[in-house]
Amino acid sequence: MNYSFKVYIDNGREHFRWQSDTDFVATSGTAKKDFKLSQSLLDLLYLDVDPLYNLTKHMGDEIRKLYDKDGEKNIAFLRDSFDRLAETHLYFEFLRLDWSDRLDKYVKGEMSNPAKAMHYKEITHIPSNITTWQNQIKNIFTKVLDVLSPDKPIQAKMSELYENRDFEGLLLFDFQPLSTTFERSDSNTFTEVLNPRNIGDIVDYFLRNIISRDMTFKVCKSCGKYFPASASHGNSEYCNRIFYGLAADGSKTLDTGKTCKEIGSVKVYQAKVAENPEYAAYSRAYKTHFARIKAKKLTKEYFQIWAEEARKLRDEVTAGALSLEEYKNWLKR
């Protein structure tokens, strides 16, 4: 095998390390990527698999042609397709290295039984496999890891979930033995390292680690997707993903350029403005004063002093220490 792909967790982050030396893929040294723990699994949970069906079917057709010694071969298409998959999700980087190694051996005539070594269903079943994993992961998140799930220890909820195996059927993730080593991952760390045999191993590895670490998750109130309910997120009800909204006519999805948390903050403030007259009064006065800056009738320094005092008095109105009328009169002055 002329490549390596290693996965491990260190200091609350998931790490990926890989290298390859084939005619199809060559890395200069070791390629590295790392994310906050659970990010890659959440990305897979919400991966749109629909575009993968046509691609993987076409790839499967081309792989089957490799079984025929005299048939037409399109190695270039397969190589480009694995590159495209690797851009879709990092787990597919392993697939690209693995199959590039196989194709390299095939081209060099080092493969005695291509039909056995390169089974086309490994590729054509990718979309359906991911869909199955997505449903199984979502089931565990909803019933075990969601902060709104029953108020019991996570391990107890997992035990109850798997006790009803016959009832749950295909919605239960099938954990399997994994190939791991205990080794030096960098200059300062010795840790358990996964050497995956397939993409399912990577899914398995991160899912079991999330469960064993008792991680919990929330559903974002903007996008409706899960995100970690960790201390770093505080009491936020919104995630840090880019928020995609619909066009006015609902015809397409638009990148707002803002995160769900930023969109959520705006929504919360707009709700306060709608429900609290002191916020509405402050908002109107703020816009008026800000316009005076553009007209050069007010300095930025004075505006900042005014805005700070206006917010302080607004909060006093909310707390009942100042009347709304007194506040409005102050804003007019």
Per-residue model confidence (pLDDT) at position 170: 67
Per-residue model confidence (pLDDT) at position 253: 55
Per-residue model confidence (pLDDT) at position 270: 61
Separation in Å, CA 43 to CA 91, 152, 196: 10, 27, 19
How far is it, in rounded angstroms, from Cα 258 to Cα 237? Answer: 16
Length of the chain: 333
| Cβ atoms of residues 96 and 85 within 8 Å | yes
CA 202 from centre of chain? 15
End-to-end CA distance of the chain, in Å? 78
What are the DSSP E strand ranges found in 125-251? 180-186, 189-194, 217-219, 226-228, 242-246
Dihedral over alpha carbons 181, 183, 185, 187 (to 10 degrees) = 180
Tens of pLDDT, residue by residue over 46-64, are 999 999 999 999 999 999 9
Q: What are the average pLDDT values for consecutive 10-residue runs of the chain, which has 333 residues?
A: 92 93 75 95 96 97 92 91 96 96 92 94 97 96 94 94 73 94 85 96 98 94 88 68 62 63 64 73 83 83 86 87 88 82
What tokens does 123 get? 């590729």
Per-residue model confidence (pLDDT) at position 291: 84
Q: Is the pTM of this model over 0.75?
A: yes
